[in-house]
Amino acid sequence: MTEYFPEVNSIVYEGPESTNTLAFKHYNPDQVVLGKTMAEHLRFSVCYWHTLKGLGGDPFGPGTIIRNYNQHEDPMTVADKTLEAAFELFTKLGVGFWCFHDRDIAPEADNLTETNKRLDIIVEKAKKLQDQTGVKLLWGTTNAFSHRRFMAGAGTNPSPEVFAYAASQIKKALEVTHYLGGEGYVFWGGREGYDTLLNTDMGREMDNMARLLQMAVDYKKKIGFTGQFYIEPKPKEPTKHQYDFDAGNCHAFLQKYGLDKDFKLNIEANHATLAGHTFQHELAYCAANNILGSVDANRGDMLIGWDTDQFPTNIYDATLAMYIILKAGGLATGGLNFDAKVRRQSIDPVDLFYAHVGAMDTFARGLKNAARMIEDKTFDKLVAERYSGWAGELGRNIESGKVGFEQLEQYIIENGEPRINSGRQELCENLLNDYI
């Protein structure tokens, strides 16, 4: 098979002292941390759309990046070579997983039947490459947002015909994800939102979105696909307002429509910050509500208000994220998927490797830092102390539902002004810095 990245060898762990810019300084896949290997904890995944297909286009100009695997007239030849390049990259990076949209891996044809045939050809090859390399599918998904037919959404489209197209496309994507042994399936609401309420029936759109998801749940059971379903929140972009705004919003939606047992969330760092939250907040919300599923590990830019999808390099954020993830018991079927793209000026193939090596090391450091925070119980002790009142008689009575307003009023009349304690935020932040 052709080698597409001959300038890069397999990336190996060389330790913190290494000066090799194409080696891991912290990610040591077999190193055991809190009872599991780093590879088992972190479950790194490469995303197909940005890493293999992204060419650096932005609203002001087309792509700047030329790849050796897409220099061909025939779109199926390009798809074939891209897949080979992809598995070479996955293997050289040593990631265990990949993720794709149906349309990333195989181009659309003139009608759905032909499109599905093309998809089958590429999926067959992907299955072979997975078997040869041991790289697994973390999740599959449907691109029901790029084609012009989806300009007004898929499940929330005002036209039932577009809804039917989206359903057909999801049906097929579920089948191929199942065939490839995918551990999950993501629903990101592409253009499921609105640009003006003046032309929008919001209630109907949300009901229809739920209908589409319920159909997916039914079909999943029918074909025996046992992978985990995820919803991925994002507050805006491409529409002004996306219905699956943030974790809290998705949670309410799933509960309202009785879908909460069938879905967890896929939390993307850049989407969290676009929603005005921290990455850690969205993870913590999910953990507190038992809906933490998977993670799209990237970052935004503090000064840019859109989805820049940059590779994660912030050790502070990665530490806080891993702290929440570890405390929640880990990612189970999920993983850390690098839904991130190299910058428009990073035009060399080697930049893809620098990007992933840096991101993997960032999360490896986050994992090691978080593990020490947990072992030392530094913050557990602070939190336990802060809430210790709930172990007393009053706290127990409130939490067990034994008392109501009248008894609590009586308590205050008898005992007077409550005692209050310092929150110690500065101390907490100083202690955190000891681990970074």
CB of 324: closest distance to Ca ion in angstroms? Answer: 18
26 in active site:
no
Quick count: other Cβ atoms within 10 Å of Cβ 332?
A: 15
104 in active site:
yes
Stretch that binds Ca ion, among 106-114, 118-126, 335-343, 365-373 (CB under 5 A): 335-343
Amino acid at 299: R
DSSP 355-392: HHHHHHHHHHHHHHHHHHHHHHTHHHHHHHHHTGGGGS
Q: Among 80, 102, 104, 317, which one carries the catalytic annotation?
A: 104
Separation of alpha carbons 145 and 187, rounded Å? 12
296 binds ligand XLS (CB under 6 A): yes
CB of 209: closest distance to Ca ion in angstroms? Answer: 18
**Nearest to 246, CA basis, from 268, 225, 223, 221:** 268
80 binds Ca ion (CB under 5 A): no
274 binds ligand XLS (CB under 6 A): no
Quick count: other Cβ atoms within 10 Å of Cβ 207?
A: 14
CA angle, residues 51, 56, 58, in degrees to nearest 5: 130
Q: Of ligand XLS, Ca ion, none, which one sits near residue 186, judging by CB under 5 to 8 A according to partner kind?
A: ligand XLS
244 binds Ca ion (CB under 5 A): no
Q: Binding string to ligand XLS for residues 67 to 106, with x set by CB under 6 A, is what? A: ----------------------------------x-----
Give, in order, the Cα–Cα distances in Å from 46 to each of 35, 135, 360, 385. 25, 10, 11, 41
Which of 88, 244, 317, 339 forms a contact with Ca ion (CB under 5 A)? 339
150 binds ligand XLS (CB under 6 A): no
Specify whether the CB–CB gap between 152 and 197 falls below 8 A.
Answer: no
Specify whether the CB–CB gap between 309 and 339 falls below 8 A.
Answer: yes
282 binds Ca ion (CB under 5 A): no
**Touching ligand XLS, residues 303-322 (CB under 6 A):** 307
Which of 104, 175, 232, 246 forms a contact with ligand XLS (CB under 6 A)? 232
**Strands 193-194 vs 184-188: parallel, antiparallel or unpaired:** unpaired
Separation of alpha carbons 375 and 27, rounded Å? 20
Which of 307, 318, 335, 370 forms a contact with Ca ion (CB under 5 A)? 307
Q: Of Ca ion, ligand XLS, none, which one sits near residue 80, judging by CB under 5 to 8 A according to partner kind?
A: none
339 binds ligand XLS (CB under 6 A): yes
Residue nearest to ligand XLS (CB): 188
Q: Residue numbers of the site for Ca ion (CB under 5 A)? A: 268, 270, 296, 307, 309, 339
Catalytic residue set: 101, 104
